[in-house]
Every structure is written in structure tokens, then in C-alpha cells.
Amino acid sequence: MCPHDYVIVAVDSEGIQNLFDLLRSSAWMGIASLNTADDPLVFSHEFAHLFANFADEYEYGGKISWDAPNCDSSWETCPKFNVVGDSECVQGCVNNENSRSINVGIMRDYWKSKVYGSYNEHILTAFILKNTKASSNDQIAKSMPINIVQLNYIDNNWQILNVEESVGYPDGFNQGAVSTFKVVVENENYENIFELDLPLPVLYLDGHDSENNPYYDAVLTDGVIYTVSVPKTDKESRIVVKNNNRIVSAYNLQKNQIESISYNKVNIGIPQTFSSS
């Protein structure tokens, strides 16, 4: 397994460059597909989706089902944007129930703007500073024992499907933005010894139509399978998924089985024994 922050795939669409209704790029859970026939600023647009969970600032009538830091639901006054003095308050961010901090920025139409806007740049800078660590050497990290956690997003929750031992690199820096979901490795005293943010599986579709108008959509992809890797040591007892600090899924590493969850308490699933006379 090779460590990475994001995967960027450049798609050569030679032969359809002039068919703008097909000029699409996308971003999904740390992976971006960029149409090479598009404006290079499509990279900046998709990066903000991946790194900071930015929503599209073009009102296409969609629904914001995640915490989008660049939209304010208090669309008339925009108190969220007040941390930056020169921010605006313009109605329209995915829908008319939210406002954006700049009239036309990269997240609204990267064909017409080359800037994110001061508030959006403030958010991106904060995420960069939060996730930047000083490096004391340039040595390449060695692979180590890990647990690969297979997850399924269903019914608005991440559920653990399976855990397998392997050798590689644990996930670390991911998604930038704070998520309500976390994968947590616990010891036998249920103390956290490692945790990792889990993003929501939002698929962003971006581009322009045949009339050069922005085309955007965002879909929460229910039922997807996703894997993360966490360090394997001699101290871990179980791996859990938490949503707002509430356990929604758990895997017992000692017994190699999924634990049943009930009202944030864990009950190990033990098969019933039946007898007949």
C-alpha cells in the first residue's frame, strides 16, 4: 500500500473537447478526475472539494447533506463570514437557502474567476496549518503492520464490514476538513490510541453545459465500499466507527468479529443455542 494524500487522474478527452455538455470533472473521497480539455482552474475547484469539503457556489437546486464550510445557512446576514472583513454575503450556494462569501469565485464558475475569495482562502489556510507538520528528516517511511478496515456507507452511517491484517502504511492526512465520522482504534480499556476522520461519500460532478453555463451536482453515494488502514500494535482491542462521538459500528479484534451496537453500548453478538426434546 502506498501512502498518499489525494489521487488526481487526468482524463484525455481528445475528440470531444468542443462538446461542452460532456466536459465533466469529478471528485469523490480523496480522488479527482480532471478533464484535460477544461480550464486548468478545474484543478483548484476539485481540490477545494477534496481538501475542505467545499460545496459548489452555483445554485442548482441541490441539497447540502454535509458540513460545507463555504456556505452559510443564515443567508440574509452570513455571520459565518464575519471573521474576514472584506467578505460578501450573496444569496445562492448550491441552493437559495444558503449564501456564499463572494459574488463569483472559483467555486461558482472557474471560467469567470481566478480566486476563491478572502473567506474561502481563510478556511483553506486554516486547514493547511492544522494539517501541516514539521519534518525533521527526509527519510522515506518504512512499511509497518497495519489493519485494513473495510467499510460500507449505508443508511447514513459508516459500517465496518471486515478487518484484515497486512503490511503497509496507515492513513493519516486526509480530507482536511473535520468530519463527524471517525475510525477509532481502542485498547482493552476502551481508550483511544489512534483515530482517523472519515469523510462522507459525496460525489461532486463539475463542468459546463453547451451554453457555457456551470453544471454542478453533488450526490451522497449510499452503499459504497471504502477502506482505510490503521496501525497494528499489541495494544489494540477493537476498532469502532463513531459519529459525533456515538459508536455506530464496532469490530472486536480479539474475537475477529463484528460487535452489535445498541444505544451506544456494545453487545457482543453470541449465537443462541437451541435444544429439542
Checking if the pLDDT of 24 tops 60, the result is: yes
Within-domain flag for 251? yes
Percentage of the chain with pLDDT > 70? 82
Checking if the pLDDT of 22 tops 60, the result is: no
The pLDDT of 137-161, averaged and rounded, is 87
Within-domain flag for 86? no
Within-domain flag for 201? yes
Within-domain flag for 156? yes
Structural domain harbouring 252: 144-267
Distances (CA, A) of 208 to 35, 118, 217, 225: 11, 25, 11, 29
Instruction: Say what the pLDDT of residue 266 is.
Output: 45
Q: Would you give the distance in Å from CA 46 to the centre of its chain?
A: 12
Within-domain flag for 116? no
| Residues 68-100: tens digit of each pLDDT | 999 999 999 999 999 998 999 999 999 999 999
The pLDDT of 34-42, averaged and rounded, is 90
Number of domains in the chain: 1
Mean pLDDT of the chain: 84
Instruction: Say what the pLDDT of residue 215 is.
Output: 84
Within-domain flag for 231? yes
pLDDT tier, 275 (very low <50, low <70, confident <90, very high otherwise) = very low
The burial class, CB within 10 Å (0-12 / 13-18 / 19+), for 265 is exposed
Within-domain flag for 176? yes
In 3D space, the residue among 173, 149, 171, 174 whose CA is nearest the CA of residue 159 turns out to be 149
The pLDDT of 210-228, averaged and rounded, is 87
Whole-structure pTM value: 0.77
Instruction: Say what the pLDDT of residue 23 is.
Output: 63
Task: Confirm if 201 and 167 have CB atoms less than 8 A apart.
Answer: no
What cell numbers appear for 130 in the block?
A: 492544522
Checking if the pLDDT of 277 tops 90, the result is: no
Within-domain flag for 15? no
Checking if the pLDDT of 231 tops 50, the result is: yes
The pLDDT of 222-241, averaged and rounded, is 92
